[in-house]
Chain A
Amino acid sequence: MARTQATISLTSADITGDPLNLTKTTLLTKAGTDTGLDEFTGITKRIYPAAVTDTVIAADADYASTTVAHKVYIANDTPDNLTSYITIELEGNILLGRLYPGDFCFLPWAGTLDIMVTTVDPSVCINYGVFSQSVAS
């Protein structure tokens, strides 16, 4: 079974009086098991020619749901425009937040609500990928 690792590092010398230096790695496994996730969409890159509203990037109907350990990666790869943010939502106008150019996120996904993006400018570039399990645990 596939072995996929995700590592995050958060560092800051000056956000508080105590320097931040955190690194965490996790192995992406199926829910409640030590078996690796077995599906991946690949990293998709889209440059939207015009602003989009509630565009689905991961449709719940395409995935097993609930007892799952899916993970979603999304990045705003738009160059040269500080204000071209992407709004990340779940179906039903459940706002998560905004990714400004250069920002990324890596979040768990239950596969029960579509993941949607809204952009405010043309030529916004988004990268995303879904790591998933083919069958719920």
Chain B
Amino acid sequence: MKVGVVTFPGTLDDRDAARAVRFAGGQAISLWHGDVDLHGVDAVILPGGFSYGDYLRCGAISRFAPVMQSIIKRANEGMPLLGICNGFQVLCEAHLLPGALTRNHELHFLCRDQKISIENTTSAWTSSYSQGQEIVIPLKNGEGSFQCDDQTLAALENEGRIIARYVGENPNGSRNLIAGIANERGNVVGLMPHPEHAIDTLTGPTADGLGFFTSLLQSMAGK
């Protein structure tokens, strides 16, 4: 089970995402932003970080990387694709997901152990969680406020495409406490918090995040 992890200039959490894939029993393949070859991977992760220094807008430049052409094509064919934090921002800029991520409402970068509830367990990335399961994983960003128009919001809600919601106080001003969403097909998921930083209690607040990666491997194995 090969999972590609993309590195753009300025990507930070690629090694952590790769580690999480390995922890879950998969094989992590490093994908360079300038290389259109996806090296036969079965799924792709766009990790967190500050690609291109968040110049212009977060993810605005990364979305045009050569590797993204290949990824968009495969995603449109159903390949599982997970964008974490900056990766989520890239997916929105690339219009693989609707809406956009804007500046945290309180303007500060915020790093905290965040409780979220998993609201969609049909996606390849969340199938090993139970409906409504509450987990704690790190949230760390300055631009995590999910915004979209009313029509999009209604569609997301009605079609069950909210992957996860923040529990408790809204940490960044996201509409409807949205922490993560999926596309219509369900194979592309964007998530603001970082599951790759919660794979064991030695280095993370919990091991609750590992489920994102084991879900994927289980889903793919099932196919």
Same complex for A and B? Answer no
Q: Which residues of A contact B (CB under 8 A)?
A: none
Q: Which residues of B contact A (CB under 8 A)?
A: none
